[in-house]
Amino acid sequence: MNKYLKVFFTILFLMIHISGFTQPIQHFGYVNVIDAMMLHPTMRYFDTSTKRFSLAAFKGINIEERIKEDKVKIRIEINKLNDELKKYDDKLKEMEETYLERSEHLIKSNESLNSMTKKRRKKYEEDRAAMQAEFFSKSAEVRRKAFPIKEKIKKLEQSSKYSGYTNEKETRSLFSLMLDDVYEAMNACAKMHNCSFVFNSSAKINYIETNSDRFWDTPNEMPDFLDNYKKRLEEQGEEEANTITGGQLTQWLDEKDSVFKNCSDNRLSMFVMNGGINLTPDVINYIYKKHKISKEHQKFIYDYYDKIIVPGVNGPRDF
């Protein structure tokens, strides 16, 4: 290679290398999005048995009025569907009566089965089989069309049991609003820590099963945490209060498999990176500041995450 080109590339390499040192150090960060969601203030209203939020999550709503309105709407919708279903039921009844009449007529017209010729018996059996096949085929088609209506009625009857709770659309909307907070906080904290990339460290954990229907036997600890932690701190001192509260929150955070059943927001997306700066406590506390949660709660979150052992992604909690 020409010696002048060698000198040019050497100088170019040194310029790029040296300029790299003049730039701010870029970090990789990670946030446990599921933890940030589980510890969001709105989760105080989450009901672990219905997988929905109490209507109290909406400020200024008249819950009793809303329950009455929902029941009336559901009853009107069920009545409409029952009217529609009755048409199919009547159609089936009519088809069954016609089939029985035709069967009876066929039998009467072939009363002397024993004296039938082989050819005539074969014709009778073919006619009978064809009649049955036609009836079962057409009745199955009517039942197939009626099935979605029955499912809608079943779903509406089930939803009537959720009086006082958000419907599926509202539940998804609240989860999305919470994720708005998480991502707003993540962007702010990433900027503060100079992180050029931030990864979700919770998403590939096997126990996040959004379709789980298993029986829930762990209470929601968020109301107690948000309402009673400061009082516990004053009465029992920091060490004992943190030990008790830490144990409760660990149990709550470890029961993640059913919470997000009704969350369809794709921002619970899947990407994991080992190492980096854990922005999870900063993200949670950014949200707490936004929602005017006390400084004592914010300090507890930092203390809590300082005691988490993280071998890889999200290991056992030492609390």
The pLDDT profile of the chain, 319 residues, written as one tens digit per residue, is 445 435 433 533 443 344 444 455 667 788 888 889 889 999 999 988 888 899 888 888 888 888 888 888 888 998 999 999 999 999 999 999 888 888 888 777 766 656 666 777 788 788 888 888 888 888 889 889 889 898 888 888 877 778 888 888 889 899 999 999 998 998 888 888 888 778 887 754 444 444 444 444 568 888 888 888 898 888 888 888 888 888 888 888 877 766 777 776 655 644 533 335 678 899 999 999 999 999 999 998 888 887 653 433 333 333 3
Instruction: Return the exposure string of 232-264: e unless at least 16 CB atoms fall within 10 Å of the residue's CB, then b.
Output: bbeeeeeeebbeebbebbbebbebbbbbbbbbe
Burial of 95 (0-12, 13-18, 19+ CB in 10 A): middle
Q: How far is CA 79 from CA 74, 75, 115, 145, 159, in A?
A: 9, 6, 55, 18, 15
Which amino acid would we find at residue 221? E
Supply φ then ψ for residue 254, to 5 degrees: -80, -10
